[in-house]
Amino acid sequence: MLNPLSQAQIDIITLWYLVQHSLSSFYKIHENYPTLKHAFQASEVTEWQRLGLHKNHIQRLKEFQLTEGQQKFQHCLTQIQQHSDFVVCIDDLHYPQQLLPYTDKPPVLFGQGNPQALLQPQVAIVGSRKPSPHGRQVAYDFAFYLSEQGFFINSGLAQGIDEAAHRGGLQHQRTIAVMGTGLDQTYPTSHQSLKQDIIQHGGAVITEFLPQTPPLQHHFPRRNRIVSALSLGVIVAEAAQQSGSLITAKLAAEQGKLVFAIPGHIYSEFHQGCHQLIREGAILVDHPQQVIEDLALPTQWQHHQLVAQQQSQAPSIPEHLLPIYNQLDWVGQDLDQLAIILKQDTAQLTAQLMELELQGFALQQAGRYLRCRSGK
């Protein structure tokens, strides 16, 4: 059940609604107005024109002032309440920190399932929508192994490799699906049961798109940038020369992420895309443990105990510790930096960091604090 939206969240959603998912228009307005709600007043039409916004967005601002326009937006908010379990906006403390460095980060994410999944270490697995049986099995096996080691498997809920990766991650209740539609829809429709399995078994389904947004072709490259940005690395399990998954690999490389490619038979058309990526510098992997080693993280998410392996749920991060946990990353931040960001005194901050350490969610290394997943 979605908690009531704050006024700040409603303002973000209002702007996102008015600019029809345009990232450039959103950030142009967001940066121009210290108080965002002032941007929606009828008197601001001239300022929107001065900013060079698209005529459609200006027309929507005018219509927003009318009773019918307000009713349409209220219906949109009702749909969000109906279909979302959580909403995180760019100014929220719970907004995924791994997205913040990018200029094309989504202003808002609508989600179903477990919001804490977004705070966990993620690896993306992508590939062809029409894979070979071998490629499907490899994607499943890699996802199974990496999720067993504590990583959440991130993919796009598409047919083929995406589906296999999600199903592998589901075996340890660790998978995240990023959609190219609103949450009220499922694409492809045949994955409705898969989507529900993810939601009901510890994972999350997220999208930047408002309800009633259809599966338009240009939405999927946009979705792919979120898949790669959330992840520590991207694995291309199987891809032909013209596979759309190569777009995700390109985006990941531009974002500074590690790109892994699984090789295949040199005469197989199913693997030509992976071979091309390897020629261009992607890391060749033939075992998922190599991915963990190449990520070279300071902590390992190993399952040391059989009993721990059989636990059905990951330990929840206490609510009062979520803001500080979400500010941590996998590299480390110093105490003074955290105190400035969170606007807390160092004594309180130190106590909370110690609590996170004792529960296995953080560790201190060389004077810096970083995220950790307990060995479970």
- Contacts with 371 (C-beta within 8 Å, 6 or more apart), sequence order: 119, 121, 299, 325, 328, 329, 330, 361, 362
- Contacts with 176 (C-beta within 8 Å, 6 or more apart), sequence order: 117, 118, 122, 152, 153, 154, 155, 198, 203, 204, 205, 206, 230
Q: What is the mean pLDDT of residues 44-68?
A: 96
Residue 153, strand partner residues: 123, 175
The domain locations on the chain are 7-83, 112-295, 313-371
131: pLDDT confidence band, cut at 50, 70 and 90?
Answer: very high
pLDDT score recorded for residue 314: 52
Q: Which two tokens stand for residue 137?
A: 């099995």
CATH fold of 112-295: Rossmann fold (3.40.50)
Name the phi and psi angles at 156, rounded to 5.
Answer: -110, 15
pLDDT score recorded for residue 113: 97
Measure the CA–CA gap between 95 and 120, rounded to whole angstroms: 13
CB-based burial of residue 20 (10 Å sphere; 0-12 exposed, 13-18 middle, 19+ buried)?
middle
pLDDT > 90 in the chain, percent: 73
178-222 pLDDT, tens digit per residue, is 999 999 999 999 999 999 999 999 999 999 999 999 999 999 999
Going by their DSSP bridges, the two strands 233-238 and 122-127 should be labelled as parallel
Measure the CA–CA gap between 357 and 363, rounded to whole angstroms: 5
Asked if residue 288 has pLDDT above 50, the reply is yes
Measure the CA–CA gap between 229 and 155, rounded to whole angstroms: 12
Report, in this order, helix, strand and coil percent for the chain, each rounded to 5: 50, 15, 40
87-100 pLDDT, tens digit per residue, is 999 999 889 989 99
Asked if residue 16 has pLDDT above 50, the reply is yes
Measure the CA–CA gap between 14 and 39, rounded to whole angstroms: 10
Residue 205, strand partner residues: 112, 177
What does the DSSP assignment read for 173-186? T-EEEE-SS-TT--
DSSP structure class, residue 107: S
Q: What is the mean pLDDT of residues 152-174?
A: 97
303: pLDDT confidence band, cut at 50, 70 and 90?
Answer: very low
Residue 176, strand partner residues: 154, 204
- Is the C-alpha dihedral spanning 288, 150, 98, 207 positive or negative? positive
Residue 88, strand partner residues: 109
Count CB atoms within 10 A of the CB of residue 291.
Answer: 22
Asked if residue 119 has pLDDT above 80, the reply is yes
Nearest to 325 by CA among 281, 355, 280, 365: 355
Going by their DSSP bridges, the two strands 258-261 and 152-155 should be labelled as unpaired
Task: Report the CATH number of the 313-371 domain.
Answer: 1.10.10.10
For residues 241, 242, 244, 245, the Cα torsion angle rounded to the nearest 10 degrees is: 10
pLDDT score recorded for residue 317: 83
- The answer to whether residues 237 and 250 touch, using CB atoms and an 8 Å cutoff, is no
pLDDT score recorded for residue 364: 83
Asked if residue 305 has pLDDT above 80, the reply is no
Measure the CA–CA gap between 180 and 313, rounded to whole angstroms: 28
247-273 pLDDT, tens digit per residue, is 899 999 999 999 999 999 999 999 999
pLDDT score recorded for residue 345: 86
Count CB atoms within 10 A of the CB of residue 150.
Answer: 21
pLDDT score recorded for residue 9: 97
What's the first-to-final CA gap in the chain, in angstroms? Answer: 28
- The answer to whether residues 196 and 245 touch, using CB atoms and an 8 Å cutoff, is no
302: pLDDT confidence band, cut at 50, 70 and 90?
Answer: very low
